[in-house]
Amino acid sequence: MRIGNNQFILLIIFMFLGLTFTIQIRSNIKVNMQKPSSVQAAEDLKRQIEEENAEIELLKQKIKDNEEKNEAFLKAAVDYRGDEELNNRLQILDIIKLKAGLTDVKGAGVTIKLDDAAIRVHENPNLLIIHDRDVISVINELKRAGAQAISINGERLLSTSEQVCAGPTIRINKKRYATPYIINAIGDPDQLMEELNKSGQIAMLIEDNIRVEITKMSEITIPKYSGNIENLITGLEVLER
């Protein structure tokens, strides 16, 4: 039996059709199988994240209470002794803590809000986001203008505070924050504004459509450093005279 040309073509066409249907069905089955399992995984993870967050809130509250107790105890212990020497030392401790960034402070200053470009105005996506050097540069300018306390998204900057950008987030004091970045600085507001207005780096950011909002503030509160104090000095051997 000879297969005619037409029938041969039809054979090919139907083979193809069969192949097509098979691929389609397999693809659908695969997606449907993945759906429930990854939805399940997502649900699971969400629940775990919520648990962790609840724990975090609890710990934050405990820490706040313990910090208050800490200061109260120290004061009580010193008061109890009624010793002038100790009282002096306690007052000195307060001053040193102020210098170290271990105290909540308030004062006049500026607040800067940095946000990634709102729309894709550039071909190069790299120009649309805020980089390490942008943040570092702005912070340096604030210091040049005499800023006495600086925080980024509520993180107090110490001499050891890193500012590492990765995509739309920044890592400061080991914690990650998403844009917008809110930089608060206490200092002479006019001096700070003047320095920021002359800033070449900020001009470049604005040119790249990074959103920059700078506001003079008559009072800002900047919190103390909230991380592990011990971790800051574990590798240091203090050389005292």
Partner 1 sequence: MKLHTNIAIMAVCIVLGIILAWQYKSIDYNTRAASLQNKRVEELKDELIRAKKENENLAQRNEELETRNREFEAAKGTISKTTELLNEELQRARTIAGLTDVRGKGVVVTLDHNEFSFVDDLNILEVLNELRASDAQAISINDERIVANSEVRVAGRYIMINGKQMLAPFVIKAIAEPQKVEHALKMLGGVVERLEEYYNVQVDVKASDFINIPKVKDDGTVIKTDLLTPVK
Task: Name the segment binding partner 1 (CB under 8 A); options: 113-121, 122-130, 204-212, 231-239.
Answer: 231-239
For the CB of residue 171, give the shortest distance to partner 1 in the complex, in Å: 8
CB atoms within 10 A of CB 181: 23
For the CB of residue 195, give the shortest distance to partner 1 in the complex, in Å: 10
Task: Name the segment binding partner 1 (CB under 8 A); options: 110-118, 120-128, 207-215, 219-227.
Answer: 219-227
- CB burial of 202-217 (b: ≥16 within 10 Å; e: otherwise) equals beebeebbbebebeeb
For the CB of residue 111, give the shortest distance to partner 1 in the complex, in Å: 15
Does position 218 bind partner 1 by CB under 8 A? no
For the CB of residue 125, give the shortest distance to partner 1 in the complex, in Å: 18
* Strand arrangement of the beta sheet that strand 169-172 belongs to: 163-166, 169-172, 175-178
Between 79 and 213, whose beta carbon lies closer to partner 1? Answer: 79
User: Residues in contact with partner 1, total (CB under 8 A)?
Assistant: 107
* Residues of span 129-188 touching partner 1 by CB under 8 A: 132-133, 136-137, 140, 143-144, 146-150, 157-164, 171, 174-176, 186-188
Site string for partner 1, 63-102 (x = CB under 8 A): x--xx-xx--xx-xxx-xx-x--x--xx-xxxxxxxxxxx
Task: Name the segment binding partner 1 (CB under 8 A); options: 28-36, 115-123, 205-213.
Answer: 28-36
CA 172 to CA 165: how far, in whole Å? 9
* Residues of span 5-24 touching partner 1 by CB under 8 A: 6, 9-10, 13, 16-17, 20, 23-24
Residue with tokens 């104090």: 229
Residue with tokens 């803590």: 97
Between 81 and 120, whose beta carbon lies closer to partner 1? Answer: 81
Spatial CB neighbours of 48, under 8 Å, sequence gap ≥ 6: none
CA 205 to CA 120: how far, in whole Å? 15
CA 168 to CA 66: how far, in whole Å? 34
Indicate the residue type of 215: T
> How does DSSP classify residue 232?
G
Decide: helix, strand or coil at residue 168.
Answer: coil
For the CB of residue 5, give the shortest distance to partner 1 in the complex, in Å: 9
Which one of 11, 18, 41, 178 is in contact with partner 1 (CB under 8 A)? 41
Between 89 and 122, whose beta carbon lies closer to partner 1? Answer: 89
What distance lies between CA 59 and its chain's CA centroid?
Answer: 19
What crossing angle do the helices spanning 5-81 and 84-100 adopt, rounded to 10°?
160
